[in-house]
Amino acid sequence: NWMGRYAQLIMGPAGAGKSTFCEIMEKHCVSLKRPIHIVNLDPAAENFSYTVSIDIKNLITIDDVMEEMNYGPNGALVYCMEYLVSNMDWLKEELGHYEDDYLIFDLPGQIELYSHIPVMNKVVNLLKDLGFNLCCVYLLDAHFMSDNNKFLSGALQALSAMIHLETPHVNVITKMDLLPPGSDESEFFEKYFEADVPLILAEMYKPKESKWDRLTTLLAQVIQEYNMVNFYPLNPSDEESVNMVLMNIDHAMQYGEDEEPKEPKDENDFLNENQNENND
């Protein structure tokens, strides 16, 4: 009775609102009667605003590593994630309790773990091996939309983190409810969410040297080609916007297409599924 396993991976810099996002998703899925469980993979996370079903801190905590190994916060974080990778049986067993449920992984925010040290892609690859259909949800604070430079900057930052993971991805702009009063939301939508790249370019800050123009133009093209401009706004107080975000994520990971017999996409998928069935 293999149903397919689905998980969102919540990424984004510290302060982007990852935990709040998980909380919003949890509430929303409860109202949709969709069984959902949240996995915390941030060994430094504290004070959860959502129900934690699986917590990496039951395996290892950053405080222990800092104290016992006398590591700094960076070294300790890397150590924790490496430890998780070498103890994937723990995670596998924990995940076994939620075989048919929709999962959300709350990930640490440090970009180093994604692009500098190849540790997060190890975790993600192991999840893929466990048969998960994944979707990376990259969160950016609404203030990145406050001007064109920040927009491009934020898009590049998201792109930089995501080229490593090779999973479908969705970008979400959080804290839309905290936009300064008077900001014209319709203008916002047209420009950034529908990605009016020529307009953004036209308004872009240009240093006095024209050589930047070409870089800006080329980067904007790449961003457009890679659908980096698909940012979805999330306003926690607006049920409709929460639903839109969830729908887009579901779509990206092809959730809900299981009602019909699922065709394995390729040999690997097929093997993974078989493996999982055998394990069961």
Partner 1 sequence: MEPKQQYEWHVGSSTNRPITAIIVGMAGSGKTTLMQRLNAYVHAQKYPSYLINLDPAVATIPYTANIDIRDSIKYKQVMKTYSLGPNGGILTSLNLFATRFDQVMKFVEKRAPQLQYIFLDTPGQIEVFNWSASGTIITDSFATIYPTVYVYVVDTPRSLNPQTFMSNMLYATSLFYKTKLPIILVFTKTDIVKHDFAVEWMTKHEAFEEASKVNDTYMGTFTQSMSLVMGEFYENFTCVGVSSMTGEGMDKLFEALQKAALEYEKGYKVELEERKAELIKQEEKRQKEQIEKFKKEMHIEVNTTSPMNVIGQTIEPAQDQDMEEEDEENLFNEEEEQEHFQDFMRTINSKKT
Smallest distance, partner 1 to C-beta of residue 114, A: 8
Q: How far apart are CA 204 and CA 198, in angstroms?
A: 10
Burial of 154 (0-12, 13-18, 19+ CB in 10 A): buried
Smallest distance, partner 1 to C-beta of residue 147, A: 10
SS3 content of the chain, % helix, strand, coil (to 5): 50, 15, 35
Smallest distance, partner 1 to C-beta of residue 2, A: 26
Smallest distance, partner 1 to C-beta of residue 117, A: 7
Chain residues binding partner 1 by CB under 8 A are 13-15, 44-46, 62-63, 66, 72-74, 76-78, 109-112, 114-118, 149-150, 152-154, 156-157, 159-161, 163-164, 166, 205, 207-209, 211-212, 214-215, 218-219, 221-222, 225-226
- Cβ distance to partner 1 smaller for residue 177 or 213: 213
Joined together, the tokens standing for residue 136 give 């990376």
Smallest distance, partner 1 to C-beta of residue 216, A: 8
- Cβ distance to partner 1 smaller for residue 121 or 254: 121
- Cβ distance to partner 1 smaller for residue 159 or 197: 159
- Cβ distance to partner 1 smaller for residue 110 or 171: 110
Sheet strands (E) in the chain: 5-11, 36-40, 52-55, 102-106, 132-141, 169-174, 231-233
Smallest distance, partner 1 to C-beta of residue 121, A: 9
- Cβ distance to partner 1 smaller for residue 160 or 274: 160
Phi, psi of 118 (to 5 degrees): -80, 60
Smallest distance, partner 1 to C-beta of residue 78, A: 8
Sheet strands (E) in 115-268: 132-141, 169-174, 231-233
- Cβ distance to partner 1 smaller for residue 117 or 197: 117
DSSP state of 143: G
Reported as type and span, the H/E element at residue 22 is helix 18-31
- Cβ distance to partner 1 smaller for residue 64 or 177: 64
Q: How far apart are CA 46 and CA 55, in angstroms?
A: 11
Q: How far apart are CA 100 and CA 106, in angstroms?
A: 19
